[in-house]
Amino acid sequence: MNLLEIEKKAEFLRQQLGGLIFAFLIDEGDPYSKFAVVVYTGDGFRTFPEPLDFLQKIQSERETVVPPALFSSDREG
């Protein structure tokens, strides 16, 4: 999937489901495919240049939802 195809799919998902951040398999036929990650900025899409594998995607989603500092063993309390 090239950049134009990735952005077209992200636009389709945005129209159908709403949202601002989209992550989907680059090759839907391959369960081990890397993920494309695209952010809708209001003016267009920002596509992250490096595809992510599944573990990287999960890590980035966790950091988006819960900042890494909340998991630190050094925090007080």
Highest mean pLDDT among 2-11, 29-38, 45-54: 2-11
Q: Is the pLDDT of residue 67 over 80?
A: no
Q: Is the pTM here over 0.75, yes or no?
A: no
Rounded mean pLDDT, 49-62: 65
- Exposed e or buried b per residue across 2-31, where buried means at least 16 C-beta atoms within 10 angstroms of its C-beta: eeeebbebbeebeeeeeeeebbbbbeeeee
Percent over 90 (pLDDT), the chain:
27
- What mean pLDDT, rounded, does the chain reach? 78
Higher pLDDT, 54 or 41: 41
Cross-strand bridge partners of residue 25: 35
